[in-house]
Structure 1
Amino acid sequence: MFPIHDETTAPEASKPLLEQAKKNLGTIPNLEKVMAESPALLEGYVRLWELFDTTSLSLIERQVVYQTANFENQCEYCVPWHTKLSQLAGMPPNEIEALRRGAELSDPKLEALRRFTQSLILNRGKIVEAELKAFFRAGYCAQQALEVILGIAVKTMSNYTNSIAGTPLDKAVEKLTWKKPIISMKTNTELLGERSGCQQL
């Protein structure tokens, strides 16, 4: 139903974008090959990815945003790729594993970023004021709050594409396969109580 294109079969408008992906990564990931069926989607994805790279968030912080979105959207294709990208970015192995498990990060600032990103996704942007203030207290600013939204937009395109297309995992990351672990679900109120130390009434 969803063809996996290459430089010869893709629509003409997608071919330069596939060539760019090959130049940047040394290979063309299956995600871009699937997106190539829609040149507009592929171009939007490539351009927004490039824009996210120009934000004030560090390379590791951008991977936290990406991997948090991958986890919450249960993207079995993207988690392995961003595990590899996080390794290349120099993220500590324990933090990489925590992101794969949806667990708390040991770095307090990165954990605040993960929580903020997670809340935006789970609440469809309707974040509560206390969570926004916690993000700012961790050292982030209004600009970076908006940049997180850009990162989520990038992942929405890739995660949703992989979901409907069942994109096969590339050999380059097949040793990093991932399934979303079963974790206990807590309400936002419970999570806020844990963060503030407040007793639930």
Structure 2
Amino acid sequence: MKISMSRFQIHDDLTAPEGSVPVLRGALATGGQLPNFLGVLAGSPAALRGYAKFRSELRHGKLTLPTLERIALAVAEHYHSEPGIAMHSRAARSSGLALDEV
């Protein structure tokens, strides 16, 4: 099932509320691109900060970074998210996954 987010405004660091800009710039610096999901969440600085904190906490769990990237890739593929596939493919390679695993 593909869910369209087009009914929501997708912000970038130029259109987002001031409180969302630092998180968006951090995401851009880390991932090289801004996922639409974060652009939508940016409409609410509190929601965006909450999501960023949640993602940060996942890094302290028991799953390894390569495993987290495998999961992220599977989700991006399931939803046919070309930007998500591209971003998580790069992250997966950076985490040490072999090319045949990506």
Q: TM-score, normalised by structure 1?
A: 0.41
3-state SS, counterpart of residue 82 of structure 2: coil
Distance 1:28 1:73, change over 3 A: closer
Q: CA RMSD in A?
A: 2.3
Distance 2:20 2:8 in 1: 15
Per-residue Cα deviation, 1:85-117 (whole angstroms, up to 9, x for no partner): 111112011111xxxxxxxxxxxxxxxxxxxxx
1:12 to 12, 18, 35: 18
4+ residue segments displaced more than 4 Å:
none
How many residues were matched structurally? 95
| Structure 1: 5+ residue stretches without partners | 97-201
- Supply the distance in 2 between the matched residues of 1:72 and 1:40 (Cα, whole angstroms): 28
* Pairing partner for 1:41 from 44, 47, 57: 47
Structure-2 change in CA distance of 1:58 and 1:78 (3 Å)? same
Task: Give 5+ residue unaligned stretches, structure 2.
Answer: 1-6
Mark the structure with the bigger radius of gyration: 1
Describe the shift of the 1:90–1:69 C-alpha distance in structure 2 as closer, same or farther (beyond 3 A).
same
Give, in angstroms, the shift of residue 11 of structure 1. Answer: 1.0
**Distance in 2 between the 1:73 and 1:12 partners?**
30
SS at match of 1:77: helix
Report the TM-score, using the length of structure 2 for normalisation: 0.72
Structure-2 change in CA distance of 1:28 and 1:84 (3 Å):
closer
Percent of aligned pairs with the same amino acid: 28
Find out whether 1:83 has 2:89 as its counterpart: yes
